[in-house]
Structure 1
Amino acid sequence: MKTADPELMRAINRFTILDTIRRHGPISRIEISERSELSTTTVSAITASLLDDGLILTRHEGDLRDAAVRGRPRVMLELNPDAARVVGAKIASNRMTFVVTNFKGEVRSALTLDLRVDRQPIAVIADLIEDGVRRCVVDAGLSLEEIDSVCIGLPGVIEHRTGRVLTSPVFRDTEVNFAAEMTERLRTATIVESDAHAVTLAHHWFGKARDLNDVVLVSLERTLGLGVLHGGQLFRGAGGLNHNLGDLVVGISSEGPVRLSSKAGESAILGVHPAAGRFAEAIQLGRGMQHAQGLIEADDNALVSAAVSAGEAVGIALANIVTLFAPPRIIVVGSSLALGKPFLESMSTAYAVAIPPSLKNVAELVFDHSVEEIWAQGAAVVALCELYESPWGTTGPAQGL
């Protein structure tokens, strides 16, 4: 009979306890045991280690000098916000957003740079990201040496375990070991993650999935992303691969597979309107969807038709996702929501038609117009999750574990 790897179990239990304290602290050891379903012995041993490492703090409730209080003061535990600091970044084709957060994920500084970075050489993109990280860290009153980890969120297909970017609309190259590139430049452990995964965790920690451990997020931007959270953990594929929802096959034509991106991707939607004048400039600046919204409100027939077609395709995809995972909630985010009523109504109608009757009332659809900062904050959460699992000591988290 096989037994679980002891260090893996310790990492899982460390994460569970730290996350429970983050979500519910100040909290007693007994309450941690009840909420986490870990034994009091395990909770006591791990919290003692966390106190030694300075990751959590004690708070005493009650005072023996107060005659109205009987017994010993209750010892409550809470995260030490200054135990670690991380940087999260959201890199889009025309914009970079950075945040510095403390150990609780609270933002201490934020920076947005409107720069067109797509299709630049990797070295140029790395230079721009390095400058953004350093500026945001300085804005937080820190130096890079005081940062424990950096996470860069990118659109595309990313192998989380190795930090390789297999494909991304931001890069003109494929198979880029971007984590190694940025770790060398910043001299700080750097993680590369799917931006859809990052914003999924952001919603789990701070947004519309705080009350859930199981949720699905669909991001509709230049790429179509998917985040699946189960038991409070991201589901990743082989090698830590993320899901590229745009590659989902929705039909077969004489030319081959018809993928969701060809129906609902940003390029497919905007491509129906002549790219000239202000519209072309808006697309180049990464504001094509916002400009398209105005044209749709002015009854541009081509864009209205494209928005309806895209909404229908997404609605069917959402119904298929519910059929596969039956999540209690699906959160839809991204720039495509700017297409407005024709897109949202056709999406909802197609979803209602396609969902199996037995699952009709299982999943709640939630639409969220998330600002760029929450995507970057989600990248910071990715870094924090790995720190929460890492063994710590007097020199900080062990690297590479």
Structure 2
Amino acid sequence: MKTADPELMRAINRFSVLDTVRRHGPISRIEISGRTQLSTTTVSAITASLLDDGLILTRHEGDIRTEGVRGRPRVMLKLNPEAARVVGAKIAASRMMFVVTDFCGDVLSTLSLPIRVDRQPIGVIADLVEDGVRRCVVDAGLSLEDVDMVCLGLPGVIEHRTGRIRSSPIFREINVDFADEMTRRLGAPTMIESDAHAVTLAHHWFGSARDLNDMVLISLEQTLGLGVLHDNQLFRGAGGLSHNLGDLVLSAGSAGTVRLASQAGENAILGARSADGRFAEAIRLGRGMQHAQTLVKAEDNELINAAIRAGSAVGVTLANIVTLFAPPLVIIVGSSLELGAPFINALQDAYETAVPPSLKGVAELVFHNSSDELWAQGAAAVALHELYESPWSTTGPAL
């Protein structure tokens, strides 16, 4: 019988302990053992190593430093916020958002750049991203030498393991090795992640799914993304691939293949209406959905019908996802929510009609207007997740 790789098991156990301290700290060793199902001996050995590496700190409860509490001092463990610094970013077609966080994921500085980057040459996009990272790091009172990892969240099909962008609406080219380019420029290890995966982890670490190990997120932005969290881990495809939900096939036949993006993508919604000068300019500047919201409120029938069609398509898709995964929570985020009641009501109605009777009530639907800062903080969480899994020494992560 093939046995598990002991190094892999040690890494898994180490991450489990560190993540438990992050989520529930200050926490005792015996509580860590109960939550992770690891033996107290294993927990003691792992926490001793984490203390040696400076990743966690001790706090005593019940001694003279805590008035009103008697008895033998109780040693509690918590993350050391000074153990590492990371940068997370949301790179969208018309704006970029950067955050610097400490080892706990707490934000130290933010930078928002409302600048159009899509369809620019790769070198120009890299210049803009580099400048944004450097400015945000300086705003945090740090230098790039203080940064342990950078994670850039982008729309499209991303290979997490290699940092290769197979396709993205931001890039003219396909199969771009952007992680290598940015690592070279910044001098810090740089990861590329699907923005949908980043915001999924943001909600798991900081938002609506903080107490859950399983959930699903659908992002409705320039592209349609899917994040699946299972057993406290992001589910990725072969090679760490992200999921482009817009490629999902709704129907196929002699008339051709109908994909979700053609019904519910941003281009499909905004393109349903003949654009006047102001609308066309809003779309060009990446503010099409905000302007569409105004038109929907003014009872623009073309956009209302497009919003209903898109909502229905997403609702059916969501019912299929719930059928596959039966998650306790589904979070829907993104600019399409700005379409308001016509879109959301159509989504909910289609979902209730399409979800199997046996699964009705299983998944809670949450519509969340996630800020750009939360998306960027999710990218930082991806970087922290990588550091939590990495072997460490007293000189830092051995990446």
Q: TM-score, normalised by structure 1?
A: 0.98
**Structure 2 letter corresponding to 1:277:** G
The structural deviation recorded for 1:169 is 0.3
User: Superposition pairs for residues 271-350 of structure 1, below 5 Å?
Assistant: 271-350=271-350
Matching residue of 2:394 = 394
Q: Quick check: 1:64–1:72 contact (8 Å CA) kept in 2?
A: no
Root mean square deviation of aligned Cα: 1.3
The structural deviation recorded for 1:4 is 1.4
Q: Structure 2 vs 1, CA of residues 352 and 69 (structure 1 numbering), >3 Å: closer, same or farther?
A: closer
Matching residue of 1:98 = 98
Matching residue of 1:51 = 51
Q: Structure 2 vs 1, CA of residues 295 and 62 (structure 1 numbering), >3 Å: closer, same or farther?
A: same
The structural deviation recorded for 1:72 is 2.4
**Structure 1 letter corresponding to 2:397:** P
The structural deviation recorded for 1:256 is 2.0
Matching residue of 1:181 = 181
Matched, 1:6 2:6: yes
The structural deviation recorded for 1:10 is 1.4
Alpha-carbon displacement from aligned partner over 1:163-212 (angstroms, at most 9, x marks no partner): 00000001000000111010000010000000000000000000010111
The structural deviation recorded for 1:281 is 1.1
Q: Structure 2 vs 1, CA of residues 142 and 69 (structure 1 numbering), >3 Å: closer, same or farther?
A: closer
Matching residue of 1:379 = 379
**Structure 2 letter corresponding to 1:3:** T
What are the ranges of 5 or more consecutive residues in structure 1 without an aligned counterpart?
A: none
Alpha-carbon displacement from aligned partner over 1:78-102 (angstroms, at most 9, x marks no partner): 1000100000000000000000000
Q: Secondary structure at the match of 1:361?
A: coil
Which moved further from structure 2: 254-263 or 129-138?
254-263
Q: Within 1, Cα distance between the matches of 2:81 and 2:29? A: 19
What are the ranges of 5 or more consecutive residues in structure 2 without an aligned counterpart?
A: none
Matching residue of 1:121 = 121
Q: Quick check: 1:64–1:71 contact (8 Å CA) kept in 2?
A: no
Q: Structure 2 vs 1, CA of residues 114 and 21 (structure 1 numbering), >3 Å: closer, same or farther?
A: same
Q: TM-score, normalised by structure 2?
A: 0.98
**Structure 2 letter corresponding to 1:340:** G
The structural deviation recorded for 1:15 is 1.2
Q: Give the paired residue count.
A: 399
User: Superposition pairs for residues 16-165 of structure 1, below 5 Å?
Assistant: 16-63=16-63, 71-165=71-165
Matched, 1:359 2:320: no
Alpha-carbon displacement from aligned partner over 1:356-394 (angstroms, at most 9, x marks no partner): 000011100000000100000000000000100111002
Q: Quick check: 2:61–2:69 contact (8 Å CA) kept in 1?
A: no
Q: Structure 2 vs 1, CA of residues 67 and 169 (structure 1 numbering), >3 Å: closer, same or farther?
A: closer
Q: Quick check: 1:91–1:97 contact (8 Å CA) kept in 2?
A: yes
Q: Within 1, Cα distance between the matches of 2:360 and 2:326? A: 10
Alpha-carbon displacement from aligned partner over 1:319-376 (angstroms, at most 9, x marks no partner): 0000000000100000000000100011000000000000011100000000100000
**Structure 2 letter corresponding to 1:288:** G
Q: Secondary structure at the match of 2:59?
A: strand
**Structure 1 letter corresponding to 2:27:** I
Q: Within 1, Cα distance between the matches of 2:219 and 2:68? A: 54
Q: Within 2, Cα distance between the matches of 1:337 and 1:6? A: 46
The structural deviation recorded for 1:254 is 3.6
Q: Secondary structure at the match of 1:82?
A: helix
Query: In percent, how many aligned pairs have the same letter?
Result: 75
Q: Structure 2 vs 1, CA of residues 369 and 69 (structure 1 numbering), >3 Å: closer, same or farther?
A: closer
Q: Within 2, Cα distance between the matches of 1:102 and 1:264? A: 37
**Structure 2 letter corresponding to 1:333:** V
The structural deviation recorded for 1:65 is 9.2
Q: Within 2, Cα distance between the matches of 1:3 and 1:290? A: 55
**Structure 2 letter corresponding to 1:160:** H
